[in-house]
Amino acid sequence: MSKAFVDGLLQSHKVVVFSKSYCPYCHKARSALDSVNVKPDALQWIEIDDRKDCDEIQNYLGSLTGARSVPRVFINGKFFGGGDDTAAAAKNGKLAKLLQEAGAI
């Protein structure tokens, strides 16, 4: 079930972020994405800490990306990085370039 949920989101949205509401790195990723004005309909933000299948989602994300930690930021179905990666890419312009190519900004 969790695999289908994650795969479906990755196929149907240009930008998907798996997050936990209390995580400072997730807040960092959100600030970075907000700074480049991602189109609201292009971004799907999933807070997994309230979900019963949180551990299953994290296990599946671990198999996809090599780590279970959040945030897990995906652009066009491909894993982009975590909070620090996303913040650094926002600062150096890489994030805006990728999102523009993806049609998300």
33 Rama class: left (phi>0) / alpha (psi -120 to 50) / beta = alpha
Phi, psi of 17 (to 5 degrees): -125, 125
pLDDT tens per residue across all 105 residues of the chain: 799 999 999 999 999 999 999 999 999 999 999 999 999 999 999 999 999 999 999 999 999 999 999 999 999 999 999 999 999 999 999 999 999 999 999
Q: Which residue has the tokens 């945030």?
A: 71
Predicted TM-score (pTM) of this structure: 0.96
CATH 3.40.30.10, domain 2-102, yes or no? yes
Contact yes or no for 73/81 (Cβ under 8 A): yes
Integer CA distances (angstroms), 75 to 1, 17, 52, in order: 22, 9, 25
Domain ranges of the chain: 2-102
